[in-house]
Structure 1
């Protein structure tokens, strides 16, 4: 492994690159600028949770490193949460632009959404009896409240279908 990747950092970087590239590809395939905000949130959260479930050991490997990075500053490799946050930032900025809103908060929102969804994913993996569809809809409901300002059809108070 070290001959190919050079070090643990090299291996980690390669795993992150592969995982993030797969997620980005999946998100791009599902993303449509014509989708409403709830549908965009649902599509992205589903993609992330499906990818995490399908690659649970890889996800745990990356999260272990990401959690260690929270307490150290000696590594110049961005962890995968930062990389996912950059992807989320681009999607959020695009949605804001389409809605005529300033994109200034997009980087903060992107990182916050990734932290929110990854924390929920950790909980979900520890509670396998909870169906993914329930987790997705609950996360969409909570996130939509913050993002409904970008939805031109959000003149009504937020209510959950079927709740």
Structure 2
């Protein structure tokens, strides 16, 4: 499975052959077919293992602690996986089991469900609309996941700095949530808002 993960990450599903996997693993082709039924079976097994590892790492990181710490640990868990298991992340981010939806979107949906559940508890405690927790969960996970895709190639700044910055953005946004968010006025209603939104925001506060 480790050899298969490496080859799939290098060549993609279509560019990978059972012959190459067997050769690199030092086994015969029948061994691969016997254990996995062929290339697709091995690919599914690799993806399922990587999905379980990444989901467990992220969900485990956000279960306890202060909210800002949870965000930072969740980001750090994802980036650590990207750093230590790059091949696995490449397969999850860019690969897809034939005939099924993208694997990265699948795991993000699972993590989003967990994040939304935790946010709903916090919203209820603060007197906010817990029905909006799913929306905020989508926004938070989307921010983190897209940053991870960017960091896969950049690797700078370091993962700890990225985690702190993302936590800074997300936490300060969550901490300042309005119970009933208002729509910004349009240009005709308040031309000054378009000219200097930062100043307008300060006046609102």
> Do the two structures share a fold, i.e. TM-score over 0.5?
yes
| Cα distance change on mapping 1:9 and 1:118 into 2, 3 Å | farther
Structure 2 unaligned runs (5+)? 1-31, 178-205
- Equivalent pair of 1:46/1:136 in contact (CA under 8 Å): yes
2:85 aligns with 55
| Cα distance change on mapping 1:86 and 1:147 into 2, 3 Å | farther
- Between stretches 43-52 and 107-116, larger displacement belongs to 107-116
1:139 aligns with 166
Q: Compute the displacement of 1:18 (Å).
A: 1.6
Aligned length: 143
SS of aligned partner of 1:130: coil
**1:117 matches 2:131:** no
Q: Compute the displacement of 1:133 (Å).
A: 1.4
1:40-70, Cα deviation, whole Å (9 max, x unpaired): 100111111101111111211222226xx9x
Distance 1:28 1:48 in 2: 10
SS of aligned partner of 2:131: coil
Distance 1:20 1:149 in 2: 33
- CA RMSD across the alignment: 3.0
1:88 aligns with 112
2:22 aligns with none
| Cα distance change on mapping 1:16 and 1:110 into 2, 3 Å | farther
1:37 aligns with 67
**1:148 matches 2:175:** yes
Distance 2:140 2:41 in 1: 27
- Equivalent pair of 1:62/1:80 in contact (CA under 8 Å): yes
Q: Relative contact order: is structure 1 or structure 2 higher (C-alpha 8 Å, sep ≥ 6)?
A: 1
Q: Compute the displacement of 1:117 (Å).
A: 1.9
**1:127 matches 2:146:** no
- Equivalent pair of 1:89/1:109 in contact (CA under 8 Å): no
Distance 2:117 2:54 in 1: 18
Distance 1:92 1:135 in 2: 22
Structure 1 unaligned runs (5+)? 151-163
- Between stretches 53-62 and 14-23, larger displacement belongs to 14-23
- Between stretches 127-136 and 97-106, larger displacement belongs to 97-106
